[in-house]
Amino acid sequence: MDKTINNKAWFLVLPVFLLVAFSAILPLMTVVNYSMQDTFGNNQFFWNGVGWFKELLDPSTDLGGRFLASLGRNLIFSLAILAIEVPLGIVVALSMPRAGWTVAFCLVVLALPLLIPWNVVGTIWQIFGRPDIGLLGYTLTSMGIDYNYVSNDLDAWFTVIIMDVWHWTSLVALLCYAGLKSIPDAYYQAAQIDGASRWAVFTAIQLPKMHRVLLIAVLLRFMDSFMIYTEPFVVTGGGPGNSTTFISIELVKIALGQFDLGKAAALSLVYNLIILIVCWVFYTIMTNAGAERRPTEGGA
Amino acid sequence: MDSIAWMAWTAPTAIFFAALACTLGVMTALAARYPEAERVGVLRIPTTRGDRLFISLITAAVIHLAWIGLVGTDTIASLPIGEEGFEVSSLWLATAISLASAVAIFRTV
């Protein structure tokens, strides 16, 4: 802890920094500039100060209401998929074989959804859920369930969540499987000698050993679901009404639909800040969780 | 200047980014000239000066947004500068709080 860090090696990052300046920093500066002004096109800008931010953070205005509503929907969506994908991923990882040709088979099958592009996933589920030609929609309708993701809010949410679970549970499962594989057999043998139950093995050995990969899985899934755009856009287009309009969809509507660059810039900066804070918190927890455990592991 | 017209620069945002760039430049020079050790503060996480600057900047952004959302930006004073006078927004109080919090963060975190 007392050792000083030689920071000079950071200068080697300068070429990348220059590249990032063009691809990210200059555009971000432009967004900050836009957020302070109003425009009517043709590069004519008018100073508006923090006006857009005031509107954005006031729930009684149109912009503020839309922002808070879509933020709420996004948080509910992220929590819902985390609540499903994390336990499901753990269960899938635990039930996977540990040796033999079935391991490769399971890994390939699990990896398949991860390889499909977002818009294709959206299209698959858009057709899959249709009551007239889609297998899911047709089956549910035949069973007497009134399912229509185009007109019913709950059905739209059900479809979007199930789609995300189908697409990304594999990632959680693969990460957990990697965590499980890293546990030496000695742990299981010790547990067997002690006569530990299956549940005790899970809570005392497997779960603590999966701690780090689970944190990574939660971070990745939270960030990805918080920034989700393509899949719900393709399946529901944000509808019915605004029921599945998440922040990124709202942002695109404001920026490219209404061409309100100032409002969209203010929204995207606040959106960016939220993501930055969450990322930092997760990253700090992750790096420190490892640092705290290292001495005990070394001493054991 | 036409080539960067799309970036829609204004004097206040230019000053803001220049100040930010200066801060980063000074911190980079300091980090290279005087290497430092990580230390654990009130957050119980090891931080360097760079980490503390990052936390300060994020805190400043949150304080300003919270101020805009909860308090507003009413004029609190008018300075006799120029023909129409210069109106001081209450948002400057948020800036003052941010600076104070940055000092606190650099000392305690």
List of E strands, B1-109: 39-40, 46-47, 75-79, 86-89
Query: Rounded to 10 degrees, what is the CA torsion of A297, A103, A201, A188?
Result: -60
- The percent of residues in chain A predicted with pLDDT above 90, rounded, is 52
The rounded distance, in Å, linking the Cα atoms of B20 and B71 is: 25
For residue B27, what are its two tokens?
């911190």
Taking CB atoms and an 8 Å limit, are A273 and B62 in contact across chains? Answer: yes
Out of A87-91, A182-186, A275-279, the most confident range is A87-91
Decide if pLDDT at B8 tops 60. yes
| Burial class of residue A285 (count of CB atoms within 10 Å of its CB; 0-12, 13-18, 19+) | middle
Given this model, what pLDDT does residue A115 score? 93
Helix A261-299 × helix B49-70 angle, to 10°: 140
Over residues A155-163, the mean pLDDT reads: 93
The rounded distance, in Å, linking the Cα atoms of A188 and A192 is: 6
Q: Which residues of B are less than 8 Å from A43 in CB distance?
A: 5-6, 8
Given this model, what pLDDT does residue B20 score? 93
Over residues A156-184, the mean pLDDT reads: 93
ipTM, 2 dp:
0.89
CATH numeric code, A72-294? 1.10.3720.10
Residues 57-76 of B with CB under 8 A from A: 58, 61-62, 65, 68-69, 72-73
Taking CB atoms and an 8 Å limit, are B69 and A57 in contact across chains? Answer: yes
Q: Which residues of A are less than 8 Å from B72 in CB distance?
A: 54
Given this model, what pLDDT does residue A260 score? 87
Given this model, what pLDDT does residue B1 score? 67
The answer to whether A124 and A211 have CB atoms below 8 angstroms apart is no
| Burial class of residue A239 (count of CB atoms within 10 Å of its CB; 0-12, 13-18, 19+) | middle
For residue A123, what are the contacts with CB-CB under 8 A and spacing of at least 6?
A: A234
Q: Over chain A, what is the mean pLDDT?
A: 88
For residue A57, the distance in angstroms to the closest alpha carbon of chain B comes to: 5
Given this model, what pLDDT does residue B6 score? 80
Given this model, what pLDDT does residue A300 score? 36
The residue extents of the domains of chain A are 72-294
Q: What is the pLDDT of residues B17-36, one digit of tens each?
A: 999 999 999 998 888 888 88
The answer to whether B62 and A273 have CB atoms below 8 angstroms apart is yes
Q: What is the pLDDT of residues B41-98, one digit of tens each?
A: 888 888 888 899 999 999 999 999 999 999 888 888 777 777 777 778 888 999 999 9
Given this model, what pLDDT does residue A292 score? 60
Q: What is the pLDDT of residues A252-264, one digit of tens each?
A: 999 888 888 899 9
Decide if pLDDT at A297 tops 60. no
Q: Is the peptide bond before A87 cis (omega within 30 degrees of 0)?
A: no
The answer to whether A249 and A267 have CB atoms below 8 angstroms apart is no
| Higher-pLDDT residue of A81, A4 | A81
Q: SS3 for A1?
A: coil
